[in-house]
Amino acid sequence: MKFRPAVLLSALALAAGAAHAAPDAKAPAAPDAVLLEAARAARPALEQSLVEMTTIESGTSDTAGLLAFASYLEKRLSALGAKTQMLPLTQGDSKALKATLTGTGQRRIMLMAHMDTIYPANTIKTSPIRKDGNRLYGPGIADDKGGIALILHALQILHDAGWKNYAQITVLLNPDEEITSPGSSKLIAEEASTHDVVLSFEPSGPTGGFLSLATSGTAVAHLEVEGKASHAGAAPKEGRNALIELTHQLLQTRDVDKSVPDTQLNWTVAKAGVVHNQIPQHAQAEGDVRVKSADGIDKLEAALRKKIGESSLVPDTKVTLRMEKGHPTFVATAQSYALANKANDIYAEVGQKLSFRVFSGGSTDASWAAQSGKAVVLESLGLGGAGYHGKDEHVVLDSIVPRLYLATRILQEIGQNWDMIARR
């Protein structure tokens, strides 16, 4: 998951401006005392789960670590009575973990999170797990091991309570979300299309107070220049400097996104040359692309090609552009908003208030889950936290109880009152 500063709208403020939002505010209902006490009682065990899971390093490229983590999770889910499967991806050697529980109700619910982190192996040696007041630090602890911990413990609470008001609960945990899920996107989309509701457990912000109702589409822009190598000292004019031409193209395209509404481009990586005394023949750059519309990437690519074609600084160089698409755009449906408003009602039962975040610049697998349009998708049901992808990544421990209460209650509501929620 990759997030930037969010656009936050309170649930009630959004309700006032959206045709499908919540009705007028009303006094919150009393909490379910049994579930709330169970959530409080589960906090120490959930903290221990966070420590155990974060100790198992599982960077996207660490196949051995991911398989070890999947094995750990398979045992945990099997202990809850789930049927588990390790599923191959369309690319890569890692496996996705699917676990299914069969109930006696009518609704099919999918719970989704990702096992991979962005950290290389042995990061935990330099960024060890540590607790500091209300925060628990560790690589990947919020994104997304906190989400997985919530899934495990919410299911444990409901299992212990004998709750079976669902036709099927599917837990789907994939190993490549941090690189836009190239090997698991098809699996996610297909599984989601057979369910009524998909709840995705990405982290929920610095205090655990938001849900995501729109996430950005992503792409990587690849810009390459082919020139001609020559001796930098004896014959520099015989060469065609690819680095100079690349620099020219980066400068002339740096603001092209301003001409394409709801798109964002930031050039982030550049490489050129091999040795200092040779005019570089090759140069390349990569840019991070974020869009808010389904056709935003194509429109931005067209604008880039036009700008690149306007001028060249170094004669006889060849410039090529390639756009590598990642996550598609996710925009919540009216039913997703209705479910989000129900979540806000539930959160109010424990004195909390949700905000709805839209188009923060982040992208998640909720976009793959929503591809078919068949499932109602809600994102960011994980723990509160911050510092994602950095040395200070942490979860906010005080978010455990309200978020665990929300997860268990919303599952109960989907099982018992889905038709009423969907019509809201």
Catalytic residue positions, numbered: 116, 177
Distance between CA atoms of residues 50 and 77, nearest Å: 15
The residue among 61, 147, 143, 180 whose CA lies nearest residue 387 is: 143
Tokens 């979540």 sit on residue: 343
141 Cβ neighbours under 8 A, 6+ residues apart: 50, 53, 54, 129, 385, 393, 394, 395
Distance between CA atoms of residues 410 and 416, nearest Å: 10
Rg (alpha carbons) of the chain, rounded to whole number: 24
Give me the numbers of helices (H) and strands (E) for the chain, helices first please. Answer: 11, 20
The residue among 4, 29, 25 whose CA lies nearest residue 13 is: 25
The residue among 155, 11, 15, 20 whose CA lies nearest residue 81 is: 155
Taking the CA atoms of 412, 173, 373 and 25 in sequence, report the sign of the dihedral they define: positive
The residue among 19, 91, 12, 3 whose CA lies nearest residue 347 is: 12
The residue among 118, 25, 14 whose CA lies nearest residue 393 is: 118
- Burial 48-57, CB ≥16 within 10 A → b, else e: ebbeebbebb
Strand order in the sheet with 210-215: 8-10, 355-358, 210-215, 330-331
Distance between CA atoms of residues 135 and 399, nearest Å: 10
